[in-house]
Amino acid sequence: MLEINKLCFRYSRRSPFVLRDVDLVLADGEIGIILGKNGSGKTTLCKNVLGILKPVSGSLRFDGEDLIRMSRRERARRIAYVPQNIQFGALSVYDSILAGRISYFAYRAGKEDEEIVEKVLDDMGLTSFADRNVEELSGGERQKIAIARALVQEPRMLIFDEPTGNLDIANEQLILAEARRAAAEKHIGILISLHDLNQALEIGDRFFLIKNGRILYTGGKEVITEAAIREVFDAEVRIVEIDHKKIIINGGKIS
């Protein structure tokens, strides 16, 4: 379980706080969505959890252990990152995924590392891609490789930063389905930053609505209301129910 308490962060002493008193709890097997408009602090929050950025104050714990004091390597075994636009270099799919095992092997990959990579390739239907060069793949395929690379870390938690940013609808669905599968089958927590409300409702169990670095609302789907969206996104929307699902539609100036 991830527990963030009163986390504050700024990029430099002269700049304003980008995260202010952030509290967030995410249990194993749950998909948590950080929702907010551009510049609200979503990426900065993910990077604090990952240890890429160090908080000014507050605490970050995973299963009771202090993440801030943990080495990068120890943290990588617990929490894996699927970044927005991953750059792999001219590697094969297999080697790109194997690189995810780096926090486990000292100099070269062992048999166990290879077996884990092969299992993830198989689980994700990627075996026939193994020898392809990642640079030749489509955006959605590369994103899938990025997920595979994160999964071979055998993490207890995954963090996705805007995973569907550059993808078409079919690939969006594919990536969100992979996330849901990982949460359910491996019973790991998944934290996803998103700005698309309908995608968030489709996949999320818990929601953290962030504005100017502050979490204004936390909870299940019930926290996604027209009023909350107006406040957090400065946008007018209408929420309708279709097939018992909440759908957000534009209720603003475009008519």
Count of Cβ atoms closer than 10 Å to residue 54 Cβ: 10
Smallest distance from the beta carbon of 40 to ligand ADP, in angstroms? Answer: 4
Name the residue nearer to ligand ADP (CB basis): 40 or 96.
40
| 20 vs 142 by CB, closer to ligand ADP | 20
In the complex, minimum distance from the CB of residue 9 to ligand ADP, in angstroms, rounded to a whole number = 9
Rounded least distance, CB 16 to ligand ADP, Å: 8
DSSP state of 212: T
| Nearer CB in complex with ligand ADP: 129/217 | 217
Please tell me the distance from the alpha carbon of residue 251 to that of residue 170, in angstroms, as a whole number.
26
Nearest to 194 by CA among 167, 160, 147: 160
Rounded to a whole number of angstroms, the minimum distance from the CB of residue 161 to ligand ADP is 7
Tokens for 254?
């475009």
| All residues at 6 or more sequence positions from 28 whose CB lies less than 8 Å from its CB, including other chains | 1, 156, 157, 187, 188, 189
Q: Between 36 and 100, whose beta carbon lies closer to ligand ADP?
A: 36
| Distance in angstroms (rounded) separating the CA atoms of residues 202 and 176 | 9
**How many whole angstroms separate alpha carbon 52 and alpha carbon 78?**
14
Under a CB-based contact definition with an 8 Å cutoff, are residues 12 and 35 in contact? no
CB of 194 to ligand ADP, least distance (A): 10
Q: Which CB atom, from 38 or from 255, has the smaller least distance to ligand ADP?
A: 38
Report, in Å, the least distance between residue 26 CB and ligand ADP. Answer: 18
User: Bridge partners of 247?
Assistant: 240
CA distance readout (Å), 182 to 24, 87, 159, 186: 21, 23, 12, 5
For β-strands 19-26 and 31-35, DSSP reports them as unpaired
How many C-beta neighbours within 10 Å does residue 145 have? 25
Q: CB of residue 139 vs ligand ADP: minimum separation in angstroms?
A: 19
What is the contact surface with ligand ADP in residues (CB under 6 A)? 11, 15, 18, 36, 38-44
